[in-house]
Structure 1
Amino acid sequence: MKYLAHYSEPLKARISELLSRDQLGDYLLEKYPEVHKYSTDKALRQYVFELKNRYLKKSNPISKVVYDPKLHVIKNALGTHSFVSRVQGQKLKAKNEIRISTLFKRVPEPFLAMISVHELAHIKEKEHNKAFYSLCEYMLPNYHQLEFDVRVYLTQVEERQDIYSR
């Protein structure tokens, strides 16, 4: 249960118990029964831009938002935020790109919101520090619960099967 390594022992024991009884998938399906409708890069881009425009209007622009099939396998990450600076004439131009693992194409919308908010927060805060998590909570008040639930989902996917790909 590598995704839950930093959580308390009683919490990990509860998840382990649900997993061993083959009830973890049912727990998640009861809590999050439906998958989102943002399954294309174009729909994902629009979804992320709506979040950005709602919460980070004055932040740097985003040049690209896509699903990336290589993320989970190669970088062991669920999403990435790239920041590239280029000199163009007398100006320094910044390019922000957000890539989200294709694992998030068929998950509940709150899971997509959590990973999107996480990557958007990196536009303002590069490090995972207190300011970063405060920004995540500002954009998504139940951010920490959703992050935990995504970790539970990843445990389900790794140990048994993806319950949302049926």
Structure 2
Amino acid sequence: MTKLIYLNGYAPALREQVQRLIDTDQLGAWLARRYPPAPAHAIQSNSALYDYTQRIKQAYLRSSVPVTKVSFDARLHVIDNALGQHQFISRVQGAKLKSKNEIKISALLKTLPEPLLQMVVVHELAHLREKDHNKAFYQLCEHMLADYHQRELDLRLFLTHQSLLTG
């Protein structure tokens, strides 16, 4: 029995279904059918990621606070299994309070299908309006990406499959 650490919050029936896919060595094939192997997406640099994030922000969160920096971070998957991180930084400059919003995305997402990268970017952008993972937060995620929850599950399945391959 494989420990499904990325699926801890999901229903037992779903976890059993995933376990059956693992036991019959079909999880990789299932993921390949859902996300056919293709050349890596074009979002490989920090500037491409920034432009990609800004396009999504402009489409759905135009009036939200600006994002000053978006970058890939190779350390993110190691720290608390986070694949994205948002930071709100406030600094006093003279008599003014300056604030910056930065987003970091795990470099692991350079190698995964673009729809999964999009899901993480949407997740981090939603934090511009909703700080906590509450009902309003997930409604905003679904507004920006209708199949948000399915993509989040798929990303967790990719992580599970990858952990099985690396042992």
TM-score, normalised to structure 2, is: 0.92
Other structure's SS at 1:123 match: coil
Q: Does 1:73 align with 2:78?
A: yes
CA distance, structure 2, for counterparts of residue 82 and residue 108 of structure 1: 25
Aligned residues: 161
> CA separation in 2, counterparts of 1:119 and 1:141?
16
After the TM superposition, which residues 11-26 of structure 1 pair with which residues of structure 2 at under 5 Å, given as runs? 11-26=14-29
Map of 1:128 onto structure 2: 133
Residue 60 of structure 2 corresponds to 55
Within the candidate set 39, 45, 57, 2:44 is matched to 39
Deviations for 1:99-157, whole angstroms, at most 9, x for unmatched residues?
00011001111101100000000111110011111110010011011111111111111
Gaps of 5+ in 1: 162-166
Q: CA deviation at 1:75?
A: 3.5
Q: In structure 2, what is the equivalent of residue 154 of structure 1? A: 159
Give the alignment partner of residue 99 of structure 1, picking from 91, 95, 104.
104
CA distance in 1 between partners of 2:56 and 2:34 (Å): 23
- Aligned-partner SS, 2:9: coil
Bigger relative CO (Cα 8 Å, ≥ 6 apart): 1
CA drift of 1:57 comes to: 0.7
Specify which structure has the higher proportion of helix: 1
Let me know the Cα RMSD of the aligned residues.
1.2
Deviations 1:60-90 (A, max 9, x none): 1111101100001124211100001112233
5+ long unaligned stretches in structure 2: none
State the one-letter code of the partner of 1:42. Answer: S
Matched, 1:119 2:104: no
TM-score (norm 1): 0.92
CA distance in 2, matches of 1:10, 1:134: 25
Identical columns (%): 51
